[in-house]
Amino acid sequence: MGSIADNLGGVTRLIQKATLQAGRKPGSVNLLAVSKTRSAEELREAVAAGQRAFGENYLQEALDKIEALTDLADIDWHFIGPIQSNKTRQIASAFSWVHSVDRLKVARRLSEQRETDLPPLNICLQVNINNEQSKSGCKPEELPELVSEISKLPGLSLRGLMAIPDPDQAEPALRASFHRLANALNELKQTCPAAGPLDTLSMGMSGDLELAIAEGATWVRIGTSVFGKRVPKS
Ligand SMILES: *Cc1c(COP(=O)(O)O)cnc(C)c1O
């Protein structure tokens, strides 16, 4: 691996190439740098190289970094980890996006707790696209009801769907998982057109970003290819 700046350049080129190959509009895929376990200094390096959007999984770790980096302007913080409902207040005030909403209770709390002087919180519904036991995400068949309830919440802007497909699938099955998520978003656009912008597919990580872009990803969430291999959190 090179420096963080070099890695960001490499990932950006990969995204551009995959976007072009998919016949999609240049600039239609955004890079979320997934910075869990990374130090504030490493994030500073990424910001110096032009990166603005960061994805964090662990609330306390994220709040510490947000605090350490308040001198930097225009950073967009995205929460992408499992959400405990007693932690929603801090998430609603410190982040501009939450990709991992998977139940109504959490959505309601985030909406109520979003300060009214802030723009609505951008959210994606996380879908358990491979019906994996013990994995976060709602079931695909729960989406219409969830979306219809969430569309009534004034503190949220429903941007779209997120998934973490089972990474052990062979490539065709993985691609089919991304395709199902894209289809689910298209269906929601037809059936609940007023539910929110519904312009976002958060899918694709370091190992599968090309496949995700081919199937319509608008945010790819990239950790390892930007910051290097993670040391497991102790
Ligand atoms: C860690 C993580 C990523 C990034 O994974 P890499 O394989 O390191 O790119 C993306 N999305 C979520 C939800 C994660 O937890």
Task: Supply the pLDDT for residue 232.
Answer: 73
Separation between Cα atoms, residue 8 and residue 135, nearest integer Å: 30
Which CATH number applies to 4-227: 3.20.20.10, 3.10.110.10, 3.40.50.620, 3.20.20.70? Answer: 3.20.20.10
Q: What are the 10-residue block averages of pLDDT along the chain, 234 residues in total?
A: 94 98 98 98 98 98 98 95 97 98 98 97 97 90 97 98 95 97 97 95 97 98 97 68
Task: Supply the pLDDT for residue 231.
Answer: 82
For the segment 213-234, what is each residue's pLDDT rounded down to a tens digit? Answer: 999 999 999 999 999 999 876 5
Task: Supply the pLDDT for residue 234.
Answer: 56
Does this model's pTM top 0.85? My answer is: yes
Q: Which of 15, 30, 31, 80 to mutate to test the pocket of ligand 1 (most atoms within 8 A of CB)?
A: 80
Separation between Cα atoms, residue 49 and residue 37, nearest integer Å: 19
Task: Supply the pLDDT for residue 135.
Answer: 84
Atom of ligand 1 nearest to the CA of 206: 9
For the segment 64-106, what is each residue's pLDDT rounded down to a tens digit? Answer: 999 999 999 899 999 999 999 999 999 999 999 999 999 999 9
Q: Is 106 in the pocket of ligand 1 (CB under 6 A)?
A: no
Tell me how far the alpha carbon of residue 77 lies from the centroid of ligand 1, in angstroms: 15
Q: Do residues 51 and 33 make contact, with C-beta atoms less than 8 angstroms apart?
A: yes
Run of H or E residues at 156? strand 156-162
Q: Is 165 in the pocket of ligand 1 (CB under 6 A)?
A: no
Collapse the DSSP code of 185 into the 3-class scheme (helix H, G, I; strand E, B; otherwise coil) and give the result. Answer: helix
Q: What ranges do the domains of the chain cover?
A: 4-227
Buried residues in 123-135 as b, exposed as e (16+ CB within 10 A) = bbbbbbbbeeeeb
